[in-house]
Structures are given as structure tokens and as C-alpha cells.
Amino acid sequence: MKKEQTALGLGARSDHRTVYVRLFGVLERYGVVLALVLLVSIAGALQPIFLRPSNVINVLRQVSITGILAIGMTFVILNCGIDLSVGSIVGLTGMLAIMFQPHGLVVSIGSALAVGTLVGVANGYGVANGIVPFIMTLASLTAVRGIAFMVSDGRPVMGASDAYAWIGGGYVVGIPVPVLILGLILFAAYFILERTTFGRSVYAVGGNEEAARLAGINLTRNRICVYGISGLLSGLAGVVLTARMTSCDPAVGILFELDAIAATVIGGTSMFGGEGKVTRTVIGALIMGVLANVMNLMNISPYPQQVVKGLIILWAVLMDKFKQR
């Protein structure tokens, strides 16, 4: 169904109308924040333990991986694409990071980020040349996972240097390093999307590819950058994850892409591209994290937990539909 064309802006402007529009806008903008606040309040009421600083920090740390991946996913979905390969990239880059430890921190982290970016760039190049994002990244998901098993002979790799383990387990002024990294990435992503010409072109290409092209935006470069960012952040997530576990298994990261997509959708980013905010994506990831934590605290078994997660995703999509009206 085509979007309706209203005659907004016709006729005289009056103050109360503007107020209506603003009110609607506020709900649209902060609905997901309200949902999180509500959820946290309920959680705190049901399980007072939940609000303890140690638990809150724990939740944040658990959310950091999904959060980093979801930020990359937001770039892709805003661009009207999808990146299914992020979980496989986490597996491969995590593997590489652990394996290259003996060569020093720079080599090990650098190779993980470089390989992640490379896979992303390949995805972007394929998409720019007309391969449907779903298929292109499905191919990567499969192939990259295979490479992860190849480089490790299918065996887990253990051990991490102190410096490496600090990335996963350390603190800076009481904040866990992974959470700090998530915060920095969020800040950078927010700045890029909101305040740079590249960020605006990400929205424009996602909203209307042809109009963006006719406005002089280079679609190939745009796609390569967008998927490259998702790949880079997947590599970073691989590093953080293995640093936390101080080991890596080639099967690590399976289905992570789905959590990243879920966080993005719960955050209100439109699957049709062009609409959404990266800050809300992280809130989406927090909603999922808080929910999982509370249910764990309440000793709810993992099976119903999955059902609840599914319902939350459905709810988010329905909200999106409602908003489109």
C-alpha cells in the first residue's frame, strides 16, 4: 500500500496543531526509551536484586557484544539492506585474534578488525553489483563460518595474554571495558549518522536508492562503506567476545546476527530503510538484555525466555506499522 499523501502544511498554521504534531513526534522518538524505563521499573519491583550496581554492570557487559553488532546492523538496515554474516565474522575474527596473540596485541586485534572489514567490503561490493543483500550475506555467513573452522581445524583455541584479557574483563573508573567500547562506538556511530554527509547518504540511499543516485551519491562507495562498517564492528565484537572468554571456538557467534537484527528492529529502525536512530538500537539491545537478565533472576527456563523474546520482536514490528499510519 502506498503511503498516504496528506495535505499537511496546506492552510494556515496554528499553534495547537503544531503541539499535536510535536506530541506525536515525542512519542515516536522516545517510545522505546519509555519502554525501557517501564521495563526497568517493573524488573526492579519484581526482583530488587536487579537494581544492584553489580547486576546492572553485569547486564551492560552482556549487552555490549549485541550492542556493537547491532550498531553495525543499524547502518546496514538504514541502508535498506541486511547483514546475516556478522555472527560468522565474530567467529572467524575471534579465532584469528586468539591465534595471533603470540605476535602481539596490535597484530592480533589488527588482523581481526582487518579481516572483519574485508568481509564487509566484499559484502558491500556484491550488494553494489546487484546481489540481493540477504543472499550476498547468506553466502558470506556460510563461507566465513567455513573459514573459521578451517583456520582452527575445527578445534577451540585457549589462552589470552593479560593485556588481551583486560579488554574483556578490565575496568576503567568502574566501567567494564566492553561497555566503554560500546559507548565509544555508539558515540562515533551517532556522530557519523547524524552529523556527516556520509551518514545522511546512508539514510538517503536506504530511503530511495534512485533518488540518491540522481542526487549524485556514489552507490557503490556507499554500500562498500556501510557493509564495511558492519564488518569492522563484527570484527571488534569478535575481539571483545574472545577477550571476555579468553578462548575461542570456531562455532562462536552462531545466530548473533539475529540478536543484532532484533535489537535494531526493537529500536524502531524501519526494515524498509531510511528511518531509524542508532541510539534507539542500543536501547533495543538493552531491552533484550534486561529482559533476559530479569527472567534469569526469576529462574525462568531458557525455553519460555525465547518465546518472550519473539513476542517482543513482534511487538516492535507492530509498533512500527502503527507509526506508519
Partner 1 sequence: MTDANMLLEMKSINKSFSGVPVLKQVNFSVREGEVHALIGENGAGKSTLIKILSGAYTRDSGDILLRGKEVHVSHPLDAQRLGISVIYQEFSLVPQLNGAENIFLGRWPEKPKGWVDWGKLVDEAAHILRQMNVSIDMTVPVRTLSVAHRQMIEIARALSFHAKIIVMDEPTSSLTDKEIDTLFQLIRELKRQGVTIIYISHRLDESFGIADRVTVMKDGMITGVSDVSGVIKSTLIRLMVGRDIQDLYPRRTSKVGELILEVKHLTRKGVVQDVSFSIRAGEILGFAGLVGAGRTETMRAIFGADRLDSGEIYVRGKMVRINSPADAIKARIALAPEDRRSQGLVTCLTVAENITLANMSSVSRGYGVISRKLDREKAEQYIHDLDIRTLGPQQRVRNLSGGNQQKVVLAKLLNTKADLFIFDEPTRGIDVGSKAEIYQLMGRLAEAGAGVIMVSCELPEILGMSDRIFVMHGGRIVAEVLPNEATEEKILTYAVGGASE
Q: Write the CB contacts of 291 (distance below 8 Å, at least 6 apart in sequence).
A: 39, 305, 308, 309, 312
Which residues are registered as beta bridge partners of 315? Answer: none
Residue of the chain from 198, 271, 297, 317 that contacts partner 1 (CB under 8 A): 198
Residue 323 binding partner 1, by CB under 8 A: no
Q: How far is the CB of 80 from partner 1 (least distance, A)?
A: 10
Residue 13 binding partner 1, by CB under 8 A: yes
Q: By C-alpha distance, which of 185, 184, 223 is closest to 201?
A: 223
Q: Which range in 16-24, 88-96, 252-260, 294-302 contacts partner 1 by CB under 8 A? A: 16-24
Judged by beta carbon, residue 174 or residue 216, the one nearer partner 1 is 216
The grid coordinates listed for 117 are 572489514
Q: How far is the CB of 121 from partner 1 (least distance, A)?
A: 19
CA angle 256, 262, 265 (to 5 degrees): 145
Q: How far is the CB of 202 from partner 1 (least distance, A)?
A: 11
Query: How large is the greatest C-alpha to C-alpha distance in the chain, in angstroms?
Result: 71
Q: How far is the CB of 205 from partner 1 (least distance, A)?
A: 9
Gap between the Cα atoms of 3 and 12, Å rounded: 24
Judged by beta carbon, residue 155 or residue 321, the one nearer partner 1 is 321
CA angle 201, 88, 156 (to 5 degrees): 150
Assign 172 to helix, strand or coil.
Answer: strand
Judged by beta carbon, residue 93 or residue 222, the one nearer partner 1 is 222
Residue 211 binding partner 1, by CB under 8 A: yes
Count of residues that interact with partner 1, criterion CB under 8 A: 40
Residue of the chain from 31, 169, 183, 207 that contacts partner 1 (CB under 8 A): 207
* Cα dihedral: 306, 312, 316, 319 (round 10): 150
- Whole-number Cα distances in Å, 142 to 15, 70, 204, 245, 257: 56, 20, 30, 24, 13
Q: Which range in 118-126, 165-173, 204-212, 230-238 contacts partner 1 by CB under 8 A? A: 204-212
Judged by beta carbon, residue 83 or residue 275, the one nearer partner 1 is 275
Residue 217 binding partner 1, by CB under 8 A: yes
Q: How far is the CB of 279 from partner 1 (least distance, A)?
A: 17
Binding mask 23-62 for partner 1 (x = CB under 8 A): -x--------------------------------------
* Cα dihedral: 284, 114, 86, 191 (round 10): 20
Q: Return phi, psi of residue 299, to 5°.
A: 60, 35
Q: By C-alpha distance, which of 258, 251, 247 is closest to 312?
A: 258
Residue of the chain from 270, 279, 281, 293 that contacts partner 1 (CB under 8 A): 270
Residue 212 binding partner 1, by CB under 8 A: yes
Residue of the chain from 176, 274, 284, 289 that contacts partner 1 (CB under 8 A): 274
Question: CB atoms < 10 A from the CB of 293, how many?
Answer: 20
Residue of the chain from 83, 249, 257, 275 that contacts partner 1 (CB under 8 A): 275
- The residues binding partner 1 (CB under 8 A) are 2-11, 13, 16-21, 24, 195-198, 200-201, 203-204, 207-208, 210-218, 270, 274-275
